[in-house]
Structure 1
Amino acid sequence: MTTQPAAAPPPHPFTLRLALGLVGVLIAALTSGLNDRISSLALADIRAAIGIDYDTGSWITSAYQAAEVAAMMVAPWLAVTFSLRRFALIVITGFAAVGILQPFATGAAPFITLRVIQGLFGGALPPLLMTVALRFLPPQIKLYGLAAYALTATFGPNVAASLTALWTDSVGWQFAFWQVVPLCLIAALLIGWGLPQDPLRLERLKQADLFGMLTGCSGIALLLLALTQGERLDWLNSPLIGAMLLASAALLVVFLINEWFHPLPLFKLQMLERRNLAFGLLALAAVLTLSLSGSSLPSAYFAQVEGFRTTQFAPLALAVGLPQLIIAPFIAMLLNWRWVDSRWMLALGAGAMMLSCLMGMQLTAEWARQNFWLIQALQAFGQPMMILPILMGSTSVVAPPEGPFASAMFNTVRGFSSVAAGVFVTHFLDRREQFHSHILVDQLGNRPWLMTAATGDSAGYSTPLLPDGTVSSAENLGHFSTLVKHQALILGISDAYLLIIGCALLLVLLTLWLPKRVYPPQTLLPLAPKTSRS
C-alpha cells in the first residue's frame, strides 16, 4: 500500500515573527556556505598546525564534502518527521559545537572525524531554507524567498574566501572555524522564536526508508570521495579509486530502484516526469559549472602565475558575492512581473556569463586585478539571472506537500554538482596545461628564437639561450621552466573559459526547447472581477 504525502498544513499567517524566523534559517544556511570552503582555503595553515602532509590533508576537504552532500539527501525527511523548528535547532547547535571543538583536534584522524560530523550538520542546513520558503512564504513574496536560497550558492562561497583569508592572515586559522559560532547563535535565537512548532510525526518512522538512506548516502559519499581524490591517486590506476567508483555505482543504482517503489522515499522520482523540474535539476548542475569561471579560474591565475595569497585576490570573489544582496532581490522583482519570461531571463544570464568568459579568454601574463573587474561584474549579474529562473520554473510544478522531496533532490544535485564541476574543471585545466606545456617546449626546442618573442624583453629574460640553443645557466633553466609553466597555465585557463562558453550555449539551447513557460506565483491566484464605477 502506497502512502501519499500528508496534506499540507493550513497556511500560517505571514507575520513579522515568522519573517524573522525565516531570516534565522537564511543565516544558518549562509553560515553553512561560509564553512564549506574553510578546509580548502586554509589547508596549508591547518596542515602546519596539526602536523600532517599534503596527501593526508586532502582527505579533510574530501571527507567534509562527502558528508555534507550525504546529509542533504536525508535532511528534509528528518525535518518533517521531527518537526522543522526542533530539527533546525538541533542541527545548528551541533554545527556550532563542532566548530568550537575543531581547532583543538590534534592529529589527522580526530580532525577529519570532527570535520565529517560538522559536514553532516552543515549539509542539513541549506535544504531547510528551501523547505521553509516553499511552505511559509505567501505567493507575492515567494520569489524573494527563492532569491534568498540562491544566495547560498552565490553569496556564501564567494564571501568565504575573504573571511577565511582575513582570519588566517591576521588573527589565526582557528578563527576560520570559530566564525560560525556567533552566526549560529543569532540563527538559533531567531528560529526558536520565529518558526512555529509542528507536532512530532513519529509514525513516519514505521515506514522510514532506512535502506534508501544507507545505499543513497553511502553511494553519493563514495562517489564524491572518488572524484575528489581521483586526480591525486591517478584515477583508475588506483585500486582504491576503482573500488569506490564501482561500489558507488552499484549503491546508487540500487538506491534509485528502491526510491521508485518505496512508499515514503527520500526522492520521489516520479516527479521528474514534470519537464520543468527535470530541466531545473539539469540546468542547476550546468549553472554551478558556469559559476566556476568567476571563482576557480581567476584564483588559479593569481595563485599560480602572480603568486598571490588568498587575501590579495579575495576582493574579486567579493565583487561577485556582495552585490548578490542587491542583485538577487532585484531579479526576483523583475520575475514577479507577468510579462517577463523567466526563460529569456535565464538566456540573458547565460549571455552575460558567455561575455565574461569571452573577455577572460584574452588573459595574458600582464593582467592584474583591474582587468577582472568587468568580468566579475558580469558574473555578479549573470549568476542570479540564471539560478532564480531555474528555481522559479522548477518549484512552480511542486505542490506544498511535495516540498521536502523537491528540497532533497535540488540540494543533493546542487551539492554534488558543485563538487563534481570543480573536479571536472580542475582536471580539464591540468590536462590543457600539460598539453600546452609540451607544445611550447617542442616549439622552443626546435626554434629557440621564439623564446624572446613569446616572453618579451619585459619578462627579464632577453638572452635565455646560447647560440647553439642550449640553456645558458641553472638560473636561466629555472626561469625558462617557470615561464613555460605560466604561459601553459594561461593558455589552459583560456581553454577552460571556452569550455564554459560551450556549456552556456548548451544551456541556452535546452532552455529554448525543454521547459514550459511559468508565471509569477501570485498571478496563479484567481483574479477578482472588475467593478465598474458609476
Structure 2
Amino acid sequence: MNAAAAETVPLRAKIAVMGALLGAFMAVLNIQVTNTSLPDIQGGIGTGLDNGGWISTAYLIGEIIVIPLSGWLAGVFSLKRYLIANAVLFLFFSAACGLTSNFPEMVALRALQGFSGGVLIPLALVCVLTLLPPHARPLGFSMFALTATFAPAIGPSIGGWITDAYGWRYIFYLNLVPGAIMLPALMWGLSPAPMHLDRLWKGDWVGVFTMAIGLGCLQTVLEEGNKDDWFSSGFITKLSVISAVALVWFLVQELRPGNETPLVNLRLFARWNFGFSSIANFMLGFVLYSAVYLIPLYLAVAHGYSAAQSGAVMAWIGLPQLLIIPCMPFLMKRVDPRRLLSLGFLLFFVSLLWNLNLGPNDSGPQLLIPNLIRAVGQAMVFRRSP
C-alpha cells in the first residue's frame, strides 16, 4: 500500500465534508421541492398560476447570482465564516418562507433563500477538494454527484408527500431538521482561518454588478417570456436588452488585459477539456431542470394529479440513483470513464426521444420507462462530471 492510500482522513475533515454535502443537498433540493406543490402554495398566498412560477424563479435568480461570487467571498471572509453564515441565513429564510402570507413576501424571501443557499453548492465541492486526501476524493465526488442529480429528482416527491400530509408550509420547515445536523458539523469540522478584507476592496466590482444584472434579467426573460409572448411584451424586450448589454460588458471586463483580479477567469474555457465539459454540463443541466420543473406542472394542470401523485412519478428518476451512483467508482476502475460518460449521455438522449412520442392523454404510467432510463443516464454523467 502506497503512502497516499495509507493516509487516513481526519475525523474533523469527514464531519466537515458531511456537513457541507448535506448543505449542498438541501440547497439543490429546494430548487425543485416546490414544483409539485405550486397549486397549493399559490392558493395559500393568494396568487394565480401565472405568478406561481416566480416562486421557483426567485430562488434560481438568487442562486445564479451568488454562485460565481462564492469563491471570491470565501477567500475574503474565510471558508468557515462564509459557509456557516450563509448556512444560518439559508435556514432562517427557509423558516420565513413557511410563515409568509402573500405573494410579494414569498418572492422576496425565496430570492434571499436562494442567495444564501447558492453558496452551499460550490463550497461543498471546495470542501471535498481541500479537506480530503486524493485517495478519498472519488467517494467525495460521488456524494457531491448525489446532491447534483438525486436532490432535484427526489425534490418533487418529497414536496408532494409533505404537502399532502402536513401542508405546503412544512416544505420549508423541513430544512430545519437536516440544518440541525449541518451547522454543528460545519462549526466543529472546519478550521478557522484569517479574513482578508483587503481583497474586498480590490475585487472586480464592475464584473460583480454586470454579472448580477445580466444573469438576473436573463433568468427573468427565460422564465416569463413564454407567458408574456416574448418580444411582444415591452417588459421582456427591455429586460432582454439590459441583459445583453450587461453580459457583453461583463465579458469585456473579465477579458480585459488590465484586469488582474477577474471575478471569473474566462480564459479557462480556452482549454478544450474544461470548455467542452462545461458546455456539456450546461446543456445537460438545462434539460434536467426543465424536465423536473415541467413534468409535475403538466401532471397537475392537465391530469389533476395531486402533489403526492406527481412526486411519485418523479421518484422513478431519483430513487434508482441511490443504487447506481455508489457502484460507479467500481465500474470506473474496469471501464473507460469516457465510455461511461458517453453511455450516460446516450441514455439521457434516448429518454428525451421517448418523451417526444407522448401525447396530451399520456400521464404517469407512460413516463415510467423514460424516467428509469434517465435515472441511469444521470447517474453516469453526474458521477463523472466533477
* TM-score, L = length of structure 2: 0.90
Taking structure 1 as reference, are residues 296 and 78 closer, same or farther at Cα in structure 2, changes over 3 Å only? closer
AA at the equivalent of 2:270: E
For residues 66-99 of structure 1, the C-alpha deviation after alignment (integer angstroms, 9 at most, x for no partner) is 1121011211211121111111110010011111
Matched, 1:217 2:212: yes
Q: CA deviation at 1:101?
A: 1.7
| CA shift in 2, pair 1:100/1:300, >3 Å | closer
Report the AA paired with residue 188 of structure 1.
Answer: L
Which residue of the partner structure matches residue 117 of structure 2?
122
In the TM superposition, 1:483-494 aligns within 5 A as none
Q: In structure 2, do the counterparts of structure 1 residues 245 and 46 end up closer, same or farther at CA, with 3 Å as the change threshold?
A: same
| Structure 2 counterpart of 1:237, from 219, 232, 241 | 232
Paired residue for 1:250? 245
Gaps of 5+ in 2: 1-6
Measured against aligned partners, the alpha-carbon deviations of 1:35-76 in whole angstroms (never above 9, x if no partner) come to 112444322222222223334443333222111210112112
Once superposed, what is the RMSD of the aligned Cα atoms? 2.4
In the TM superposition, residue 295 of structure 1 has moved relative to its aligned partner by: 3.8
Q: Which position in structure 1 is the counterpart of 2:339? A: 344
Does the 8 Å contact 2:218/2:240 carry over to 1? yes
Equivalent residue number for residue 103 of structure 2: 108
- Which amino acid is 1:34 matched to? L
Aligned partner letter, 1:317: M
- Separation of aligned partners in 1, 2:294 and 2:198: 49
**Residue of structure 1 in register with 2:3 after alignment:** none
C-alpha distance after superposition, 1:358-389 (max 9, x if no partner): 54455467766455444332222111212233
Alignment partner of 1:22 out of 17, 27, 31: 17
- 1:490 paired residue number: none
- 1:366–1:202 CA distance, 2 compared to 1 (3 A): closer
**TM superposition outliers: structure 1 runs of 4+ over 6 Å:** none
Kindly tell me: are residues 196 and 118 of structure 1, through their superposed partners in 2, closer, same or farther at Cα, counting changes over 3 Å? same
Matched, 1:147 2:174: no
Which AA in structure 2 matches 1:160? G
Instruction: State the distance in 1 between where 2:153 and 2:385 align.
Output: 20
Paired residue for 2:312? 315
Q: Please give the alpha-carbon distance, in whole angstroms, between the structure 1 residues aligned to 2:103 and 2:359.
A: 40
- Aligned pair partner of 2:61 in 61, 66, 74: 66
Aligned partner of 1:198 in structure 2 is 193
Relative distance call for 1:27 and 1:250 in structure 2 (3 A) is: same
CA–CA separation in structure 1 for the residues paired with 2:341 and 2:95: 41
- Of residues 159, 168, 176, the one that matches 2:163 is 168
- What's the CA shift for 1:250? 0.8
Superposed displacement of residue 225, structure 1: 0.7
**Matching of residue 379 in structure 1 with residue 379 in structure 2:** no
Q: Does 1:281 align with 2:278?
A: yes
Q: Deviations over 1:102-129 (max 9, x none)?
A: 2333333222221211111111111111
Residue from 214, 217, 221 that aligns with 1:226:
221
CA apart distance, 1:13 = 7.0
In structure 2, the residue matched to 1:94 is 89
Residue equivalent to 2:40: 45
Q: Identity of counterpart residues, as a percentage?
A: 30
Q: How many residues align?
A: 378
Alpha-carbon distance in 1 for matches of 2:49, 2:361: 31
The whole-number CA distance in structure 2 between the counterparts of 1:151 and 1:97 is: 25
Contact 2:32/2:293 (CA < 8 Å) preserved in 1? no
1:495-534 matches, within 5 Å, as none
Provide the C-alpha distance between the structure 1 equivalents of 2:289 and 2:178, rounded to a whole number of angstroms: 27
Cα distance, 1:264–1:182 mapped onto 2, change above 3 Å? same
Q: Which residue of 177, 186, 193 maps to 1:182?
A: 177
SS of corresponding position for 2:29: helix
Cα deviations across residues 7-44 of structure 1 (Å, max 9, x unaligned)?
xxxxx973122111101001101111221124443222
2:164 equivalent to 1:132: no
| 1:329, distance to aligned residue in structure 2 (A) | 2.7
Q: Any conservation in 1 of the 2:149–2:382 contact (CA below 8 Å)? A: no
Q: What SS does the corresponding residue of 1:158 show, helix, strand or coil? A: helix
* 1:430-486 CA-partner distances (Å, limit 9, x unpaired): xxxxxxxxxxxxxxxxxxxxxxxxxxxxxxxxxxxxxxxxxxxxxxxxxxxxxxxxx
8 Å CA contact 1:98–1:118 kept in 2: the answer is yes
Distance 2:296 2:100 in 1: 29
What residue is the counterpart of 1:327 in the other structure? 324
Contact 1:219 1:252 in 2 (8 A): yes
Distance 1:237 1:47, change over 3 A: same
- Secondary structure of 1:233's match? coil
Aligned partners of 1:120, 1:251: CA distance in 2, in Å? Answer: 20
| Matched letter for residue 58 of structure 1 | G
**Equivalent AA in structure 2 for residue 327 of structure 1:** I
Q: 2:64·2:215 contact (CA, 8 Å) conserved in 1? A: yes
Change (3 A) 1:193 1:107: same
Matched-pair contact (CA < 8 Å) for 1:283–1:390: no
Q: Which fold has the larger relative contact order, with Cα–Cα distance below 8 Å and residues 6 or more apart in sequence?
A: 2
Q: Residue 73 of structure 1 contacts residue 217 of structure 1 at CA under 8 Å; is this kept in 2?
A: no
C-alpha deviations, 1:186-225, integer Å up to 9, x for none? Answer: 1111111112222222231231111211111111011101
TM-score by length of 1: 0.66
Map of 2:79 onto structure 1: 84
Larger radius of gyration: 1
